[in-house]
Chain A
Amino acid sequence: MTNESNADPRTLAGTGATPLAGVGPALWYDADGEIELDDPPAPESVDADRERERFAEARETAREEIERERERAAERVGEEEAAVFDAHRQFLDDPQIQDGVADALDEGLPAAHAVQRAFAEPIETFEGMEGRMAERADDLRDVRDRLLRLLAGGDRVDLASLPEGTVLLAERLTPSDTAQLDPERVAGFATALGGRTSHAAIFARSLGIPAVVGVGDDLFGIDEGDDVLVDGDAGEVIVDPDEELRERASAGRDVEVREERVATRDGREIEVAANVGTLAELEGAVEGGADGIGLFRTEFLFLDRESPPDEDEQYETYVEALEAFPDGRVVVRTLDVGGDKPIPYLDLPEEENPFLGERGIRRSLGDDADLFETQLRALLRAAATAEGTLSVMFPLVATVEELEGALDRVEAVAAALDAAGVDHEVPELGVMIETPSAAFVAPELAERVDFLSIGTNDLAQYVMAAARENDRVAHLHDPLYPSVLRAIRRTVEAGRAGDAWVGMCGEMAGDPELTELLVGVGLDELSMSAVTVPNVKANVTAIDADDASALAERAVDAHTKAKVLEIIGNEQ
């Protein structure tokens, strides 16, 4: 069964992909890896024309499947992740693959064998490459197996209709596999391979499925039908869990959704909000019991189109968001584009270093001034319409001058609406703290606005001088370094002194392991993916604010990340 050397033979360690747990009977998916083909028959006995036809049909069906899955992934997970299916379609249509298949068919191989041969060399080539290029081997296997399944009819499990309550086990799950999983049916999944940023993990988070990835070969020790608990919070897979563990898991799986606002044991109220990047995510935020939206990204309104959305279209969208939270607050971030977020009609400059270039408020006060004005008009009108509280924040502010520039624009827009007799209201205004510069002048910023919201991913990037996407410096890109924690504390103190509330949006806020630390630092609001809202709310209610402050003080004053980890690990 499981690895004898493990301290507890029933517990396997992996990487938690979602802070959720589920339990159920194990079902192995594609346990034997590749689809096995028998030796090909003699070329004379193969009807080459028929095989060509079969291949053409399989290719057509594969293309339709890929397009369907792409649509579904775009809806459920987002455009960015769905793009992997574009690559799959291109591999399917690749001239080199097509030639390889055609040659093999000409030699008298059956279609399935021809597919296997045509993909073999490219897969091997990519397997030998480094880093993210090696992931292309997975994509090629995904496309190949899809074709083989269609041609050879392998008896693969139908992932879209698994028996209810199943825990799916697999060596790996491809994007196509994961996109088919129905969160209502599957109790969770665990994979031997894959990391926190693998497609499977990203899909699991978006779909709210308990998942542990990267368990390693020990996973293969689990037999089909064994009862398995997947604890995505602890990153553990437990075989044959006892009653106590099961209860804990079902409690974890059904973390109670609290629609009411929550407070620490000693009564400090913490606003727990959701980050929303598309209108489709609004529903998830409401269902997760978010108090409001802490980060409403407006980029989706501007992407994938030929011209910017007009004032009315934007107005409708903001009103829709506000109506989803009639008793809450919706923090809208003004357009945050720059060299790194391509929008064709904006004619963004080519930049040597886009992360240090013209982005966020820099563009809104410069080349995109007209867009900014239109957006502000829509926002000010929306603020006067709906019941909820609208807050507007400006991204990438680095100087007091920039903030003053933005505030001037708001004032000018309000005056113009006034003059035209258009119903409007000036919303709460705030600044995103994501540059070290903003953290340094946080007191001066706080004096001029209603709130500050800390964007931890960018803040960590800039404080640590470590690009977010660069694997080579990924170890430095961590908000648990004391320097980032101190920038956070500084911001909170500035907010307090300036009578501005301080929130945090970004991955750090949604890590349930860090709730105590963040409450302890003194944040008023935490905003995260909707899926982690119930966990963070539950954590808040279990915290004693004084204890949390003491913990945070020690953590922020620590000299090393290791020490920080020790402090928060020990005291949680």
Chain B
Amino acid sequence: MIERTITVVPEAGLHARPASKFVETANEHDSEITIAPENGDSVNAASMLAVTGLGVKSGERVVVAADGPDEEAAVDALEAVLSTPEGDESEE
């Protein structure tokens, strides 16, 4: 099992779009994956409900843990999601 502490970059925290991307990515991997706020209880990273329910805000740190055949790749991919600021489609 591997564990990594990651700072959440998207402006809105783990809100609809970033959360959706996070859950999608977790579901693409075979490992058992959890996410927890630093010093908080961990929840299933493949559950949209559980992930958005954490109410994690931008700038907060979370611990992502994965256990399974593709744990390294899973944590890398999830770190990329959490480190990517939210897409910005509005006008300049």
Contacts and interface: CB of A to CB of B under 8 A. Distances in A.
A388 interface: no
A176 interface: no
A277 B90 CA distance: 10
A254 interface: no
Interface stretch (B18-26, B28-36, B62-70): B18-26
Given A84-B16, A133-B52, A467-B11, A95 B91 contact: no
Contacts of A130: 55
Contacts of A459: 92
Given A96-B50, A126-B53, A87 B16 contact: yes
B53 A122 contact: yes
Q: Sorted from nearest, which 10 A-B pairs have the closest CB atoms? A: A455-B92, A90-B48, A469-B11, A80-B89, A340-B85, A342-B84, A86-B20, A94-B49, A87-B20, A506-B91
Interface residues of B, number: 30
Interface of B: 9, 11-13, 15-17, 19-20, 23-24, 44, 46-50, 52-53, 55, 83-92
A95 B48 CA distance: 9
A457 B92 CA distance: 4
Contacts of B16: 83-84, 87, 132, 135-136, 139
Contacts of B44: 95-96
B47 A505 contact: no
A122 B24 CA distance: 20
A95 B45 CA distance: 11
Contacts of A129: 55
Nearest to A135: B16
Given A90-B23, A91-B49, A96-B50, A505 B55 contact: no
Contacts of A125: 53
A96 B19 CA distance: 16
Given A125-B53, A275-B91, 20 more contacts: A80-B87, A80-B89, A87-B17, A90-B20, A91-B49, A93-B48, A94-B47, A96-B47, A96-B49, A96-B50, A132-B13, A135-B16, A140-B49, A277-B89, A350-B9, A354-B9, A434-B92, A468-B90, A469-B11, A505-B92
Given A80-B89, A455-B91, A469-B11, A136 B50 contact: no
Interface of A: 78-80, 83-84, 86-87, 90-91, 93-97, 122, 125-126, 129-130, 132-133, 135-136, 139-140, 275, 277, 295, 339-342, 348, 350, 354, 395, 432, 434, 455-459, 467-470, 505-507, 529
Contacts of B48: 87, 90-91, 93-94
Nearest to B56: A133
A470 B88 CA distance: 13
Contacts of A469: 11-12, 86, 88
A470 to B, nearest CB: 7
A95 B46 contact: yes
- B50, B89, B92 interface centre (most CB from chain A within 10 Å): B92
B91 A505 contact: yes
A125 to B, nearest CB: 6
Nearest to A79: B89
